Chain A
């Protein structure tokens, strides 16, 4: 992610922005953190960048495309089954063929995967992360950096809690793939161990309490809250992982 960032650190302000945006690798990030510690002006600037980001995320709604236009586009490209005369003349002329041959809906939707497949994918994601150079695609202990990083990468950015005080510091986030769909995974540390917490959309599913299981030697705690199925995977003890789940769940209510 960082190899095309100009390496000459001649502009400390731009590097600071890159740091807040999670664009720096570990060595560069540490160097910026040292500079921030030494220079109150850099610390103040970092706070302003984060304050602006939070204000944007809290107060500016991400305006979706209008349902009318969405429908028009889906019909134009034959993604809806309803027979309809395209009202969008310019496009209709260009892709008349596409519209005329429409016979079956190819509107894709994600069916829910069965639990077994989901668990396999989540454990695979955790193992892959452990064998990768870094367990997180974005390395940051700052939840205001980690949460927005997920925007656009997954359908919905996850709830991100800072659990450092409870002995589970946040170390970053990554995107895993479950059933051909990208899902957010938060990465926490417990002493020298890594905990992956993956949030899989489960709309319509009722809330359920934590269930503990073991897969391939990894402990797993799974629960469902507010239409999201959470999977915590780690090689920490079942007791520790259960405690982690309890503390995380407490931040959700």
Chain B
């Protein structure tokens, strides 16, 4: 097999099984189908160029890392406002991490269970970008903390604080809006 054919075979084996994962992450970050498709195309191009630098066992997190960077570049160019939020969030995250003592609320699991699709989507969309990305990678894509840290380029401690804050905010939003 020539080098070019070999690269194609690797791309088919390592990237194409995860295109839907890549698309959902791009969609979560950009918020629109058309923009997400642009990001996925660009990310595939980058993935193809680097196809020989990835180990076979780690392809999903590797591809999602590329999507993360591609989407951030895209947002910087097209929606600089969205990224300002990221900086703000990063600044307050540490404080929240140490003060996220839970209110002694009664559990409203029944309300959460009753929430319909539209309410869930609305609540997720209202999260700030890093929270939304972390939550999506965990609950929709099923990545573990180490993989999320790798994809989003932050320490695991930050993943833990983002995830717990994201879930708390979602549950509060869903309970409040019932």
Contact = CB atoms under 8 A, between A and B. Distances in A.
Interface of A: 1, 4-6, 10-11, 13-14, 16-18, 21-23, 41, 44-45, 47-57, 59-60, 62-66, 69-70, 72-74, 76-79, 88, 90-91, 94-95, 97-98, 101-102, 104, 106-108, 148-153, 155
Query: Taking chain B's interface residues, is the majority helix, strand, or loop, or is none over half, making it mixed?
Result: helix
Interface in B128-161: 138-146, 149, 156-157, 160-161
A104 B6 CA distance: 12
A23 B145 contact: yes
Given A5-B156, A48-B109, A17 B40 contact: no
Nearest to A1: B144
Given A59-B116, A106-B8, A73 B20 contact: no
Contact of B120 (A59, A73, A151): A59
A51 B121 contact: no
A41 B120 CA distance: 24
B20 A62 contact: yes
Contacts of B116: 59
Contacts of A1: 144, 146
Contact of B107 (A11, A47, A76): A47
Given A48-B108, A56-B140, A74-B16, A13 B100 contact: yes
A152 B60 contact: yes
Contacts of A152: 21, 60, 141-143
Contacts of A23: 144-145
A48 B139 contact: no
Given A11-B97, A59-B117, A62-B20, A77 B138 contact: no
A44 B164 contact: no
Nearest to A150: B142
Given A21-B138, A63-B27, A91-B45, A6 B8 contact: no
B84 interface: no
Contacts of A102: 8
Nearest to B9: A106
Contacts of A78: 8
A172 to B, nearest CB: 14
A160 to B, nearest CB: 14
Contacts of A52: 112, 139, 167, 170-171, 174
Q: Which of A54, A70, A73, A78: most chain B CB closer than 10 A? A: A73
A41 B41 contact: no
Given A13-B164, A69-B37, A95-B48, A60 B140 contact: yes
